[in-house]
């Protein structure tokens, strides 16, 4: 099985593209030979896999909350609905026995974290849940180097597919070289089995760079990023609003190009996650 998050649906992509996108991610996992489970909280109930009409309602609901791990108990107690972030999805998936999870980009350390302490709970949860997350690295709205340092502190294993250059979501190469590259789902499955045998408490981040031909134009990327960061500061956006604000700023100013690239990236991650899940299911237990 491959878990899919739902904050990308409720807060990461514009409506109505988000509905089609969510279905597309599920279909891609299925076509790649695994079973998708989109995770969300609906009327206070944790769902490991949602029905098509539930997905549509969640994607269209303005009231849907952005639920990180610490928000889950409140949403459940109050009967609320929301999209689960990477942190909440990783927690719920691993409790449900799902070992592989596909997303677009994970959260990380924000650029001004030295002052704000703004670091996504995604990192801490990846340090404590035995799950393999496939992402295209992290978006350059974040401090990528600091994010990698924190992943090291938290003992999260980091692997990059096909290269040692860690990707920056819309760009194939962040300029940062990490220690390990892998070139197949089977290789990741072998690392997962070894991690199981060691009882490592945390997870594995598999960074899957988009093909260079699909990259966002660098100049546009850099300009929009600088503008988005300035706009967030000018609007005094803080806390859990900051990531959705920056994503929306960039999406709405590239007339859909960055959304199309975004979708292609997630589909690529779904395919690799399905390959890893199949290989892990087939690998002999150590």
Q: Which residues are catalytic?
A: 5, 139
* Contact region with Mn ion (CB under 5 A), list: 35-43, 84-92, 110-118, 246-254: 110-118
Question: Smallest distance, Å, CB 85 to ligand PSU?
Answer: 3
CB of 231 to Mn ion, least distance (A): 17
| Piece of the chain touching Mn ion by CB under 5 A; list 4-12, 64-72, 76-84, 115-123 | 115-123
SS3 109: strand
CB of 122 to ligand PSU, least distance (A): 5
- Give the residue with the Cβ less far from Mn ion, 118 or 143: 118
In degrees and rounded to multiples of 5, residue 216 shows phi and psi of -70, 145
Distance CA 254, CA 188 (A): 35
Q: Which residues pair with 132 in a beta bridge?
A: 100, 204
Which of 278, 131, 100 shows the shortest CA–CA distance to 196?
131
* Token pair for 263: 């979708």
Q: Does 143 bind Mn ion (CB under 5 A)?
A: no
Nearer to ligand PSU, 85 or 157 (CB): 85
Q: Measured in Å, how far apart are the chain's first and last C-alpha atoms? A: 20
Tokens 């100013």, residue? 253
Among 118, 122, 143, 275, binds Mn ion (CB under 5 A): 118
When CB distances are held under 5 to 8 angstroms depending on the partner's kind, the choice from Mn ion, ligand PSU, none that residue 178 binds is none
Q: Which of 173, 247, 252 shows the shortest CA–CA distance to 208?
A: 173
Is the Cβ–Cβ distance between 7 and 79 less than 8 Å? no
Structure letter (DSSP) for residue 84:
E
Residue 88 or 279 with smaller CB distance to ligand PSU:
88
Binding residues for ligand PSU, per CB under 6 A? 5, 7-8, 12, 68, 85-87, 104-107, 120-122, 139, 169, 240, 243, 247
Q: Which lies closer to ligand PSU via its Cβ, residue 188 or residue 266?
A: 266
For Mn ion, the binding residues (CB under 5 A) are 118
């Amino acid at each position: 099985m491959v878990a899919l998050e739902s904050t990308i649906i409720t807060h990461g992509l514009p409506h109505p593209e988000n509905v089609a996108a969510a279905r597309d991610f599920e279909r891609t996992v299925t076509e790649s030979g695994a079973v998708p489970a989109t995770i969300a909280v609906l009327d206070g109930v944790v769902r490991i896999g949602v029905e098509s009409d539930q997905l549509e309602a969640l994607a269209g609901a303005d009231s849907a909350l952005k639920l990180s791990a610490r928000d889950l108990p409140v949403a459940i107690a109050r009967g609320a609905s929301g999209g689960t972030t990477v942190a909440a999805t990783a927690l719920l998936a691993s409790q449900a026995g799902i070992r592989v999870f596909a997303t677009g980009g994970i959260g990380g350390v924000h650029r001004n974290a030295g002052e704000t302490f703004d670091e996504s709970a995604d990192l801490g949860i990846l340090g404590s849940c035995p799950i393999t997350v496939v992402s295209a690295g992290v978006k350059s709205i974040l401090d990528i180097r600091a994010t990698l340092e924190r992943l090291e502190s938290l003992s999260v294993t980091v692997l990059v597919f096909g290269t040692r250059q860690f990707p920056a979501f819309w760009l194939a190469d962040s300029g940062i070289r990490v220690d390990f590259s892998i070139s197949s789902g089977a290789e990741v499955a072998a690392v997962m089995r070894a991690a199981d045998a060691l009882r490592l408490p945390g997870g594995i981040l598999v960074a899957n760079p988009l093909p260079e031909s699909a990259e966002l134009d660098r100049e546009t990327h850099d300009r929009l990023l600088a503008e988005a960061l300035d706009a967030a500061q000018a609007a005094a956006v803080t806390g859990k609003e900051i990531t959705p604000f920056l994503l929306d700023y960039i999406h709405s100013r590239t007339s859909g190009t960055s959304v199309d690239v975004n979708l292609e990236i997630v589909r690529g991650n779904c395919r690799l996650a399905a390959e890893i899940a199949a290989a892990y299911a087939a690998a002999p237990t150590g």
